[in-house]
Amino acid sequence: MLDKECLFCKIIEGKIPSAKVYEDQKMYVFNDIAPKAKVHLLAVPKTHFALLSEADGEGFSMLSHIFEKIPQIAAEYGCEKGYRLVINQGEDAGQTVHHLHVHILGGQPLDW
C-alpha cells in the first residue's frame, strides 16, 4: 500500500519526477537529489512504511528482494569497487523521508 501524502510514494507512482535507474514489482531505485557521494542511489520498497519496526511480512519480503538486487544494481551504476549501504531510522539518525529507503553510496573511496 502506498501513502498519498508520502514523497517517495509519489515518486514511485511517477507523480513527482525522479531519475530512475531500476524498477521491478517490489522496488524502485533512483538518484538522490542531493548526492553525498559520486554515486548516491536510493532503493525503496513499493509499499509504505517508515521504520523496520513497522514492516510486515510484505515489507520484509520487499526488503529481502532489495538486498538481493543491490549488488547487481550497484555494480552496474558505478560502484564496482564497493559501496556503503545506509538506512536512517528515526529522529536521532536524521531520517527525513518517512518511507524506508536504503542509501547506496559509492563511486569513490568513502571516509568512515
Select from Zn ion, ligand 5GP, none the partner in contact with residue 48, using the beta carbon and a kind-dependent cut-off of 5 to 8 Å: Zn ion
Cα separation, 101 vs 50, in Å, equals 8
Does residue 32 touch ligand 5GP according to CB under 6 A?
A: yes
Is 101 a catalytic site residue?
yes
Cα separation, 108 vs 35, in Å, equals 12
Cα separation, 16 vs 1, in Å, equals 18
Cα separation, 81 vs 48, in Å, equals 32
Does residue 77 touch ligand 5GP according to CB under 6 A?
A: no
Does residue 2 touch ligand 5GP according to CB under 6 A?
A: no
Does residue 61 touch ligand 5GP according to CB under 6 A?
A: no
22 and 72 Cβ atoms separated by less than 8 Å: no
Does residue 88 touch ligand 5GP according to CB under 6 A?
A: yes
Cα separation, 95 vs 72, in Å, equals 26
Residues at the interface with Zn ion (CB under 5 A):
3, 6, 8-9, 48, 99
* Active site positions, annotated: 101
Residues at the interface with ligand 5GP (CB under 6 A):
7, 18, 30-34, 42, 88, 94-97
